[in-house]
Amino acid sequence: MEKAFFEGYEIGCAATTRGKVADYIPELAKSDPKAFGLCMLDATGEPLTFGEADTRFSIQSICKVIILAAALKLRGFDETFSHVMMEPSGDAFNSILKLDTRSNLPFNPMINAGAIETASLLLPELSFEDMLDYARMLCLDPTISLNEAVYNSEAQTGYRNRAIAYLLKSKGVMSADPERTLNLYFRLCSLAVSARSLAGLGLVLANDGVHPFNGKTLIAPEHVRTIQSIMFTCGMYDYSGKYSVKVGVPSKSGVGGGIVCAAKGPMGIGLYGPALDAFGNSSGAVKAMVHISQALGLHVFSY
């Protein structure tokens, strides 16, 4: 098992040269394109780490998983999915196209429009601080904090996300205030996590929502199934289909370079490599996961 992760790490390091760090959020352009690390955590509690497993980076779109978990808990399944659908969009994560032309509801909670709408459901009951505590709990990492520089950078330049929020408001889909919603969304995208924290989140999901070390239920099992299904079909933007065929592990990526994977075992795998491919997924982390999944038979449909 260790060998498969080490080989995945080496393959991931080599693939970093094929990607480019995100620069549409100016602060992200400062990331080191060669950085790469991964962490695997299972119920033994002994993490397996390679490379930059403890480097902090912004969680970005991976917070969409945490937002969905919170919305399901606060509003329940029916209300949540009366605001957002659960269909893959096949479009880029920040696309506005189908939202205006094909449907009023965003296609799914893993693209920006869907996550912004889902975040609006958390207001006014949940504050950023409540969500920070929730993220720390789900990632088994009490040291997660807000990266203010990333938050400011994103809040100042997030014109497309503003357009999405105001479009949702104009259609009457969003009830909450769009500025307050965006503020919460931008802050949650700016949480500073590590590959180790993502491995914690992956393990909680893979363990049916149960804390692997104290047995407490952190996410209701029926919600975990919903979240993992949507990660499987929509978690890797418009590469989700191919990723599901090649890797077959419920995963979610972010433009900060992270990927969280909830794998059989149960195992949580967190990866970090800020050099991104054309879809906005970490080049190194995708290649690493193709290898690790094949080497260990982690595809959900391999028996």
Is 193 known to be catalytic?
no
Report the residue number, 6 or 279, with the smaller CB distance to ligand GLN.
279
User: Which residue has 């999915």 as its token pair?
Assistant: 81
Q: Smallest distance from the beta carbon of 42 to ligand GLN, in angstroms?
A: 27
Among 9, 31, 64, 293, the active-site one is 64
Among 151, 185, 243, 272, the active-site one is 185
Q: Which of 242, 256, 255 is nearest to 287 (CA)?
A: 242
The rounded distance, in Å, linking the Cα atoms of 13 and 135 is 28
The rounded distance, in Å, linking the Cα atoms of 204 and 198 is 10
Say whether residue 120 binds ligand GLN (CB under 6 A): no
Residue 181 CB contacts under 8 Å (≥ 6 apart), including other chains: 116, 119, 120, 123, 165, 174
Name the region of 230 (left: φ>0; alpha: ψ -120 to 50; beta: rest). Answer: alpha
One character per residue 193-232, x = contact with ligand GLN (rule: CB under 6 A)? ----------------------------------------
Q: Which of 260, 141, 246, 143 is nearest to 206 (CA)?
A: 260
Among 21, 255, 260, 290, the active-site one is 255
Say whether residue 93 binds ligand GLN (CB under 6 A): yes
Q: Smallest distance from the beta carbon of 194 to ligand GLN, in angstroms?
A: 16
Report the residue number, 48 or 62, with the smaller CB distance to ligand GLN.
62
CB 232 within 8 A of CB 225: no
The rounded distance, in Å, linking the Cα atoms of 214 and 236 is 31
Say whether residue 94 binds ligand GLN (CB under 6 A): yes
Is 64 known to be catalytic?
yes
Within 176-195, the residues that bind ligand GLN by CB under 6 A are 189
Helix axis angle, 112-120 to 178-189, nearest 10°: 120
Is 166 known to be catalytic?
no
The rounded distance, in Å, linking the Cα atoms of 197 and 199 is 5
Say whether residue 9 binds ligand GLN (CB under 6 A): no
User: By Cβ distance, which residue is nearest to ligand GLN?
Assistant: 61
Is 103 known to be catalytic?
no
Report the residue number, 200 or 258, with the smaller CB distance to ligand GLN.
258
Say whether residue 254 binds ligand GLN (CB under 6 A): yes
Residue 280 CB contacts under 8 Å (≥ 6 apart), including other chains: 22, 92, 93, 237, 253, 255
Is 239 known to be catalytic?
no
Say whether residue 161 binds ligand GLN (CB under 6 A): yes
Say whether residue 61 binds ligand GLN (CB under 6 A): yes
Q: Which residues are catalytic?
A: 61, 64, 185, 237, 255
Question: Residues interacting with ligand GLN, by CB under 6 A?
Answer: 60-61, 93-94, 112, 154, 161, 189, 254-255, 280
